[in-house]
Amino acid sequence: MSHINLTDIEGVKLAQAISSSDSRGLFMKFHPEELFRDELGSVAVSINPKAGTIRGIHLQVEPFAEEKIVTCLQGSTFEVIIDIRPNSMSFGKIATFELSRENASQLYLPKGVAHGFQTLVPETIVQYFLTSQYSPNYSYSIDPFGDIGIDWPLKELLISEKDTQGVSLEYAAQKYAESLNI
């Protein structure tokens, strides 16, 4: 698999949250409507007590494919994204990046870009803005240890059974293409 810079994946954007801090703590402001093409469909929060937790690598296919904005509100994550869009210039490419409360970055992912992460510290909280609601019948998990060749930074892992039994990248890309009638 070919690993490239995050923003070399077609349509992926990195934006800064507006943040300020004082003696009371940190205030962060987000504007997801500035990044989305579709309307905001849901907001999700992932609370991860243990370092080494892997969530993903997930995607949904049409008619529930989703744009995402991912923000690390507390702690830090090692982010993994994979372009599975058959007509994309960056099809099959993988990028990794660290999101953290300190860098206050927001990661925008267009439809057809699979996403996963590993928590780097305990008590990591990740927030998602999504343009579609979760639909288990149109959802796939790509095997995070299979043919994609990710070198996860932490070797002590906590991962769901569903994610360890994920599909191959090729299968996920095929299902996405089929959902587009390509």
Q: Which of 58, 115, 140, 176 is catalytic?
A: 58
Cβ atoms within 10 Å, residue 166:
24
The DSSP string of the chain is: --B--GGGSTT-EEEEPEEEEETTEEEEE--GGGT-SSPP-EEEEEEE-STTEEEEEEEE-TTS---EEEEEEESEEEEEEEE--TT-TTTT-EEEEEEETTTTEEEEE-TTEEEEEEESSSSEEEEEEESS---GGGEEEB-TTSTT----S-SS-EE-HHHHTPBPHHHHHHHHHHHTT-
124: which 2 tokens? 């990591």
| Annotation says 115 is catalytic | no
Q: How would you class 54 by CB atoms within 10 Å of its CB: exposed for 0-12, middle for 13-18, buried for 19 or more?
A: buried
| Annotation says 58 is catalytic | yes
Q: Which of 108, 128, 140, 176 is catalytic?
A: 128
User: Which residues are annotated as catalytic?
Assistant: 58, 128
